[in-house]
């Protein structure tokens, strides 16, 4: 598979880096000492999806692997609100716009032909809205709108991760294989599930869960998964994603900064570059606050609870 996928996912499974990184790790036990920043293992998620507000706010990411699509400089311009912001050492940006591709039917963007094909192969044929991508009456747009109206930033989950699970099974020749893979994730008691749903949807969670279930069924019903569409089954699916979904964060700017940190420079050039980067982060903080990365979540078999 494409090396680019590995880069992105090593980013989300590495040992947490400095304050500038966007890395999440759950449990790691190892017989040897692990250095800060070291990659322990690389795992591709079964499914992943960008958070919906994050996407709406123009954090442009590959629809399949969540790799950032903006060049580091464009990213800095948007996050600082300064269209004239220029970055030194532009050659350190790893974004390859010449490789980007879009779905010819709905125009959703991918970082590479590999990601476009992998998405089409696994789930996108079912989920592709075609020319209805901006139609508010399209069942998937209604579902996403309802989700955004109950789950605000800072986001921790997306209904589209569940949609991709269903679409994956719907599209698969060997449906049992995928159902078995998804059933490995840990399940909870009914009470624990309610708590998780409460946490994600707030106090009016029961009515909201029912509304989401209705829209989810309208958009995606699948006979072989009929249990996921019942009130109890939907709550369990919801809790599964809430419990097992791992955060994924990507940023072309952050990768550019890491590449800058690794440059061998004369002391005065190093100082100049570090001062520049510190000021850049101050400007971003002032303009955008804490939301720096393309963010989403995914289901990882090895990293599940």
Tell me: does residue 76 bind Zn ion (CB under 5 A): no
Tell me: does residue 61 bind Zn ion (CB under 5 A): no
Piece of 32-40, 66-74, 245-253, 283-291 that binds Zn ion (CB under 5 A): 66-74
Q: Least distance (Å) from Zn ion to the CB of residue 285? A: 28
Residue for token digits 């974004």? 95
Tell me: does residue 62 bind Zn ion (CB under 5 A): yes
CA distance 213 to 207: 10
CA distance 231 to 207: 11
Q: Least distance (Å) from Zn ion to the CB of residue 102? A: 8
Tell me: does residue 95 bind Zn ion (CB under 5 A): no
Q: Could you tell me if 26 and 136 are in contact, meaning their C-beta atoms sit under 8 angstroms apart?
A: no
Of the residues 95, 118, 128, 166, which one makes contact with Zn ion according to CB under 5 A: 128
Q: Least distance (Å) from Zn ion to the CB of residue 118? A: 8
Tell me: does residue 103 bind Zn ion (CB under 5 A): yes
Piece of 17-25, 59-67, 134-142, 211-219 that binds Zn ion (CB under 5 A): 59-67
Residue closer to Zn ion by CB (options 209, 253) is 253
Residue for token digits 């109950």? 150
Of the residues 6, 15, 42, 106, which one makes contact with Zn ion according to CB under 5 A: 106
Q: What is the DSSP string of 189-215?
A: -HHHHHHHHHHHH-TTHHHHHHHHHHH
Piece of 41-49, 62-70, 181-189, 237-245 that binds Zn ion (CB under 5 A): 62-70
| Residues contacting residue 142 through CB under 8 Å, at least 6 positions apart | 136, 215, 218, 219
Tell me: does residue 160 bind Zn ion (CB under 5 A): no
Tell me: does residue 115 bind Zn ion (CB under 5 A): yes
Residue for token digits 């369990």? 236
Tell me: does residue 126 bind Zn ion (CB under 5 A): no
Both tokens of residue 242? 């809430």
Q: Could you tell me if 25 and 14 are in contact, meaning their C-beta atoms sit under 8 angstroms apart?
A: yes
Of the residues 67, 71, 100, 116, which one makes contact with Zn ion according to CB under 5 A: 67
Q: Least distance (Å) from Zn ion to the CB of residue 64? A: 5
Q: Least distance (Å) from Zn ion to the CB of residue 287? A: 27
Q: Least distance (Å) from Zn ion to the CB of residue 8? A: 7
Q: Could you tell me if 47 and 248 are in contact, meaning their C-beta atoms sit under 8 angstroms apart?
A: no
Q: Which of 72, 63, 76, 78 lies closest to 111 in space, CA to CA?
A: 63
Burial annotation 161-173 (CB, 10 A radius, 16+ → b, else e): bbbbbbbbbbbbe
Q: Cis ω on the peptide bond leading into residue 154 (within 30° of 0)? A: yes
Q: Least distance (Å) from Zn ion to the CB of residue 242? A: 25
Q: Contacts with Zn ion in 248-277 (CB under 5 A)?
A: none
CA distance 285 to 78: 12
Residues that bind Zn ion (CB under 5 A): 62, 64-65, 67, 103, 105-106, 111, 115, 128
């Amino acid at each position: 598979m494409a090396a680019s996928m590995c880069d992105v996912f090593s980013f989300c499974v590495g040992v947490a880096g400095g304050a500038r990184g966007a890395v999440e790790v759950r449990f790691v036990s190892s017989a040897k000492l692990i250095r800060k920043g070291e990659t322990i293992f690389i795992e591709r998620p079964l499914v992943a999806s960008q958070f919906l507000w994050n996407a709406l706010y123009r954090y442009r990411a590959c629809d399949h692997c969540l790799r950032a699509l903006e060049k580091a400089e464009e990213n800095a311009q948007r996050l600082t609100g300064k269209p004239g912001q220029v970055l030194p050492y532009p050659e350190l940006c790893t974004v390859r716009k010449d490789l980007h591709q879009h779905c010819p039917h709905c125009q959703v963007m991918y970082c590479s032909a590999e990601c476009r094909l992998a998405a089409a192969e696994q789930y996108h044929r079912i989920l592709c809205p075609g020319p209805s991508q901006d139609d508010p009456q399209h069942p998937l747009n209604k579902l996403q709108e309802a989700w955004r109206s109950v789950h605000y930033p800072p986001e921790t989950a997306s209904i589209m991760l569940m949609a991709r699970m269903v679409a994956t099974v719907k599209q698969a020749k060997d449906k049992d294989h995928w159902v078995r893979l998804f059933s490995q994730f840990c399940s909870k008691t009914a009470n624990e599930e309610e708590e998780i749903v409460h946490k994600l949807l707030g106090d009016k969670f029961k009515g909201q869960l029912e509304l989401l279930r209705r829209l989810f069924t309208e958009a995606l019903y699948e006979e072989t998964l009929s249990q996921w569409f019942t009130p109890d089954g939907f709550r369990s699916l919801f809790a599964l994603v809430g419990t097992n979904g791992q955060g994924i964060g990507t940023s072309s700017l952050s990768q550019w900064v890491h590449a800058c940190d690794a440059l061998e420079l004369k002391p005065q050039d190093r100082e100049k570059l570090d001062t520049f980067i510190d000021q850049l982060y101050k400007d971003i903080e002032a303009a955008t606050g804490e939301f720096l990365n393309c963010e989403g979540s995914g289901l990882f078999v090895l990293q599940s609870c």
